[in-house]
Amino acid sequence: MAKKKKKTVLGTIITVAVIAAVIWMKVQEVRDGQTRDGELRDESVTIPDPKEGSMGIPPASNTAKSNTTKPDTAQPKFRTVSLSSNQFQIWKNCTLIDRRGNDGDSFHIQSPQGNEEIRLYYVDAPESAALTYGNGDTNHKRIGEQGIAMGRLNQHETTQVGVAAKLFTKKLLKGKKFTVVTNGERVYNSHRKYAYVIVDWKGQQRYLHELIVAHGLGRIHTKPMTLPDNTSASRQKKSLYELKKYAQKKRYGAWGVK
């Protein structure tokens, strides 16, 4: 009888432990999702944004403060958008499909062709969370490479920049119309397609990948490509490195993390 009772107690303990483990995994999954979506930002990591008067943002209205504060007149040199090449498809009036899997450089859209997932040329925004997948693989090595490339940030700082990049892209695209330019090339034979995204930035049409670099929210990495105005990839890379220097000098994004 005592043996049977022991087995019953042991079985109950194991059942409770399994249930607790499942609940813990679900809680962690929810927290990871909230972190990636920016709902659980770590206030201990400060990621500087451009101030008024820079990045094409008009200075504040005439107040006592604005009269005594000298505006920052330095401006990043963004490339003028021109769609003169005939090697690309141009999808106008695209909209963002808001999904948890979206990131600063990769996201789902509704285009004239239907639902698509695209990946930006040239830029790699950091991962927005450190993850361990079902097969035991992780994205930790990639995060480490991203952190080193963006000022030797640690894993936590790097993923916080990734969250900021994701929110930056979401803010620019959500509820708005934008243009996607692609030649249909697949990302590593997946369903995703490499593309340029053109957005309205302070009344001007700008490339999203350039804005990400100029805000210090992504490294210059991944697939290069001739621009839609036939500008060579080498010239575009040179322009991006100038935007990176601008972000470093201003200590924007990853370059000013505290």
Task: Give the angle 111-118-246 at the CA atoms, nearest 5°.
Answer: 115
Look up residue 117 and give its amino acid. E
Phi, psi of 97 (to 5 degrees): -95, 115
Query: Side-chain half-sphere of 112: how many Cα atoms within 13 Å?
Result: 10
**What percentage of the chain reaches a pLDDT higher than 90?**
66
Name the more confident of 3 and 175.
175
Between CA 96 and CA 250 the distance in angstroms is 30
Domains and CATH numbers, the chain: 64-131+138-256 (2.40.50.90)
pLDDT band at 244 (very low <50, low <70, confident <90, very high): very high
pLDDT value at residue 63 = 39
At 205-231, the pLDDT tens digits run 999 999 999 999 999 999 999 999 999
Between CA 258 and CA 255 the distance in angstroms is 9
pLDDT value at residue 103 = 95
Between CA 103 and CA 41 the distance in angstroms is 15
pLDDT value at residue 8 = 72
Between CA 179 and CA 205 the distance in angstroms is 10
pLDDT value at residue 133 = 86
pLDDT value at residue 88 = 97
Return the residue matching tokens 């049977």.
Answer: 4
Phi, psi of 173 (to 5 degrees): -105, -35
pLDDT value at residue 5 = 60
3-state class (DSSP) for residue 62: coil
At 159-206, the pLDDT tens digits run 999 999 999 999 999 999 999 999 999 998 889 999 999 999 999 999
Between CA 217 and CA 51 the distance in angstroms is 15
Between CA 44 and CA 64 the distance in angstroms is 32
DSSP single-letter state for residue 76: -
What residues contact residue 90 under an 8 Å CB cut-off, 6+ apart? Answer: 83, 179, 180, 181, 228
CB-based contact 96:170 (threshold 8 Å):
yes
Name which of 95, 82, 251 is nearest 172 in CA terms.
Answer: 95
Between CA 254 and CA 247 the distance in angstroms is 9
At 20-79, the pLDDT tens digits run 655 545 545 545 555 555 554 556 677 777 765 566 654 444 334 444 445 555 789 999
